Amino acid sequence: MRFACDTGGTFTDLLVEAGDDLRMYKAHTVPGDPAKGVLDALSLAAADRGLDLSALLARGDTFVHGTTHAINAIITGRTARTAFLTTEGHPDTLVLREGGRTGPFDHSVEYPEPYIPRALTFEIVERVDPSGRVTRALDEASALAAIAHLRAQKVEAVAVCLLWSIVNPAHEIRIGELLAQHLPDVPFSLSHALNPTIREYRRASATAIDASLKPLMTRYLGGIEARMREAGFTGRVLVLTSQGGTMEAADLARAPIHAINSGPSMAPIAGKYFAGLEGAQANGEMRDIIVADTGGTTYDVSLVRGGLIPTSRETWIGTPYRGHMTGFPSVDVKSVGAGGGSIAWVDAGGVLHVGPQSAGSVPGPVCYGKGGTEPTVTDACVALGYIDPDYFLGGSIALDREAARKAIETRIGDRLGLDIERAAASILELVTENMVQAIADITVNQGIDAAESVLIGGGGAAGLNSVWIGRRLGCREVNFPEVGAALSAGGALLSDLTAEFRAAFVATSDRFEFGAANAVLASLTAQCAAYAADAGKGALATEISFAFEARYPSQVWDLEVPLPRDRIEPSDLVTMVAAFHAEHRRVFAIDDPDSGIELTGLIARIRCRLRESGLSRLAAGEKPSGSARRRRAYFAGHGWADTVVHRISELTPGLAQAGPALIESPFTTIVVDPAARFRVTASGGVVVTP
């Protein structure tokens, strides 16, 4: 039995797979204790099987967990009090960054604060040159003096990033030994081990972020694993990573920076899988897929191009240049503050806004009856008749429709001179436009025509307006997978165990050192083999892939290009250079075929396959009622309409009908307006033609 859990800002999604039996559950996320939300969801699964929690967990062999705990801690400033140790003369690495500005001529914008303040930055007397030669020996007295300051400052974590430690890490290693000896209870991160890139800011930023998360994530992961063990679980605990794979919880606690985009990275994996089930091909090739995951707090958008899930090396936490760079590739996901819990409000100028503020799970939308007073997207959908107040989460929560209508009337309608229905419809129209813009940003920027793409609607709130989103984009179909309400959890069940190993390697194509390059690749291969023998033990299959990072000489940014095997021979160099030119042309629409290239790094990735096949169908829930349900729903431009209501569990593959219709399950509602049609697929999904 496998458990896959995704903890979002509003709900904690759970999928439980036992052989061919797949079931879905949702529980409210508990902001102050995310582990409780996980255990609450597992308790629902246990009750569904007539078991107590310990009996259910005793049957489990794998628990895969996605969490926003790391990113939330950074955004809210709840990370550890962290110090930064760097080479003497270079204390401003985190301050100066890479010099970028969104508005280069706007001098009214203040310079951003460094991730670790200068007051907690300490310079160490030492120096290594780019060749790895020690030009100034490590002054251990200066290191010990800095450590004494750290103790006096009561720091909780330490980041160490010395100049050119990626070529010769001896000084960083020694400082790590001194920290372990004199501050044994304070975790630290060493840049050469964490992120061996030649880019100083990215390496320093990654190290600072990683160190700052270690106390928090060690407690969190250790706590959730301990509580799972106490409750009866004896299996393997895996955590989702930003790169779209999983890691052992203990490994992730040692490098928690990998968990920053833990949950959202899984949506494109699931989206690619479900689009493939529905034959998302054109001329024999996989069509571009837009994966939209609508939760209670955020709207996460990603792309799958040509069957490949793109990653971004420009991963910023917050606004580019003003936020903080993780320094690691991550599945490219764009998030905006728009979801079911997004709050609608009218500003002083009488303009309607939706989000980015969210009611979250506490107090939640007004209709929850938990103290919320600001109307949300969910309240608007309850007021419009889309959500059945008596069937939310399968009827486990009774929603207050009149409270939702009253809040919309007083907070929105009266201020804008609109009746309740028009005010609620305006909330939905505006959040739809925000979501359309988020998709347009990533599609237009990459030269993709959204109208020729497949749109996957995932997340519990996706069905409320994805049909309108698809219509605005010109999409021919909108695909709602059977487990779309827990899309990221579905991706978690499909994910593999992964790890990445990097090494800095600088060489030019006209003066290439083949022996040195192959020695580095051999070292990376050995690290992958050790990982496979340890964490990957028992995997069904293991795959190792290689890549190199390169740029044109004098160019600032480098690109990652696949490397076909674990060695580089003279005959391979021409192919590598041609592949770089092609990748540069694909990314930047231009290349310089007469130029040589400069390598900056080598990469090895290992993927250990954990499952034989794809997901099973969801287990049948409610028994068919035998009679159609109907209720009144309001559609802009049509008014109130008597609308047929289908339960997803009762639909048979091949069924096709015209709107208006409401297709609901305990976890989501798909709104099919009068202009749209829908059909039920063989995989149990719903495909709507807008």
Task: Tell me the pLDDT tens digit for each residue of 267-287.
Answer: 888 888 888 887 665 555 678
Average pLDDT over residues 514-520: 96
Q: What is the C-alpha to C-alpha distance for residues 508 and 608, in angstroms, rounded to an integer?
A: 33
pLDDT tens per residue across span 670-679: 999 999 999 9
Q: Which tokens hold the place of 681?
A: 């697929």
pLDDT at 627 over 70: no
**pLDDT confidence of residue 629:** 87
Any bridge partners for residue 671, and if so which?
Answer: 662
Q: 60-91: per-residue pLDDT in tens?
A: 999 999 887 888 788 778 899 999 999 999 99
Mean pLDDT on 106-119: 88
Confidence of residue 621 (pLDDT cuts 50, 70, 90): low
Mean pLDDT of all residues in 351-361: 87
The pLDDT, as a whole number, for residue 80 is 95
User: What integer pLDDT is reported at residue 283 of this predicted model?
Assistant: 55
Q: Residue 144: what pLDDT?
A: 97
Q: Is the predicted pLDDT of residue 397 greater than 60, yes or no?
A: yes
Q: What mean pLDDT do residues 465-488 have?
A: 92
Amino acid type, 89: G
pLDDT at 154: 95
* Burial class of residue 173 in the structure, from the number of CB atoms within 10 Å of its CB (0-12 exposed, 13-18 middle, 19+ buried): middle
Joined tokens for residue 526: 């050995």
Report the distance separating Cα 449 and Cα 412, nearest Å: 35
pTM for the whole structure? 0.85
pLDDT in tens, 178-205: 999 999 999 999 999 999 988 899 999 9
Return d(Cα 249, Cα 262) in angstroms, integer: 12
Full set of structural domains in the chain with CATH: 2-74+217-259 (3.30.420.40), 86-212 (no CATH), 342-429 (no CATH), 496-609 (3.30.1490)
Which residue type is seen at 407?
A
3 in Cβ contact with 42 (< 8 Å): yes
pLDDT in the model for residue 161: 97
Q: How far apart are CA 473 and CA 444, in angstroms?
A: 11
Specify the pLDDT at position 416: 95
Q: For residue 363, is the peptide bond before it cis, meaning its omega torsion is within 30 degrees of 0?
A: yes
Q: For residue 54, is pLDDT > 90? A: yes
Q: What percent of the chain has pLDDT over 90?
A: 61
Q: What is the DSSP letter of 130?
A: T
pLDDT at res. 395: 84
